[in-house]
Amino acid sequence: MPELPEVETIKLQLSHYLPLKITSVSSTPELKQNILHTSLDLKGKTLTTIKRKGKLLDFIFDDGSHLLSHLGMTGTWLIGETIKTSKHTHLTLKGPSYTLAYDDPRRFGHMYYYTAEEAEKKLAELGMDLADPEFTLDYLTHAIKRYPERALKVTLLDQKLFAGSGNYIANEICARAHILPTRKCKAIRKEEFPRILKAIKKVIGPALASGGTTFQGGYRDSSGEKGSGVQHLVVFYQKICQMCKKTPVKKIILAQRGTYFCPKCQK
């Protein structure tokens, strides 16, 4: 599933092509059935800006309207003079020179076409973005203390606290902070909060620089390429821990998600 670095990569790539005047719009019946939750009115409008909060892409048009897009498991946006469409290309927005299209084989993505006010409300449901410059130790500490009985990894997955995180990011943050993913939030010691903050930056930074992380063919960027961030992982999908380079990684299921840790490096 695309997480913060993957969605940011798509945002940056698409942004090179702006502004984009939409001269024609076409879609599949599945778009309305599964993906789009509002009515869409884009013809003649110009896409001027793309922002991101957490895993939501925020396409902003010249009339002030917003298209919010959550990529789900396999969604991506493609752009180019010509693009390779398939039966999974559910929305195609054509401009004079470039075509922007949404492709989603498993259709778990979501889209909302909103006024500025509605978009703001939807975005406010999310917690602070993990890559936000204002994401501070103070914010992190309060967010983790919010649900004392929860396991750390479960709290790290909560989009209302940590927007943009996902399963691989949460696993990797626990690993880099040397804390077991199952440790309760109330048992996080004072000196461990700065370690978690450092771990977040260590996980997000290189993943962004590598153009995102691809697992099992899921994520592609806007040119259809896979990200190379997988080389930075230390426990997620690893047989041997890449921190101590010798201990076999353990896998458990925590809150229905595959959870990986090094029993030696993480306490």
Active-site residues, by number, are 2-3, 55, 257
Please tell me what DSSP assigns to residue 232: G
Q: For Zn ion, which is the closer residue by CB, 56 or 265?
A: 265
Report the C-alpha gap between 129 and 133 in whole angstroms: 9
Of the listed pieces 13-21, 71-79, 102-110, 233-241, which binds Zn ion according to CB under 5 A? 233-241
Q: For Zn ion, which is the closer residue by CB, 244 or 252?
A: 244
Site string for Zn ion, 77-106 (x = CB under 5 A): ------------------------------
Q: For Zn ion, which is the closer residue by CB, 226 or 264?
A: 264
Q: For the CB of residue 245, give the shortest distance to Zn ion in the complex, in Å.
A: 8
How many residues at the interface with Zn ion, by CB under 5 A?
A: 7
Q: For the CB of residue 237, give the shortest distance to Zn ion in the complex, in Å.
A: 15
Site for Zn ion in 236-265 (CB under 5 A): 241, 243-244, 247, 262, 264-265
Residue 98 contacts residue 17 (beta carbons within 8 Å): yes
- Contacts with 196 (C-beta within 8 Å, 6 or more apart), sequence order: 140, 144, 173, 177, 179, 188
Tell me the one-letter amino acid at 35.
I
Chain centre to alpha carbon of residue 163: 8
Residue 198 contacts residue 205 (beta carbons within 8 Å): no
Q: For Zn ion, which is the closer residue by CB, 155 or 238?
A: 238
Residue 156 contacts residue 172 (beta carbons within 8 Å): no
Number of alpha helices (DSSP H) and beta strands (DSSP E) in the chain: 7, 13
Q: For the CB of residue 175, give the shortest distance to Zn ion in the complex, in Å.
A: 8
233 binds Zn ion (CB under 5 A): no
- Contacts with 165 (C-beta within 8 Å, 6 or more apart), sequence order: 3, 4, 130, 156, 157, 159, 173
Q: For the CB of residue 157, give the shortest distance to Zn ion in the complex, in Å.
A: 22
Q: For the CB of residue 262, give the shortest distance to Zn ion in the complex, in Å.
A: 3
Site string for Zn ion, 188-227 (x = CB under 5 A): ----------------------------------------
Backbone angles phi, psi at 206, to 5 degrees: -65, -30
Contact residues toward Zn ion (CB under 5 A) are 241, 243-244, 247, 262, 264-265
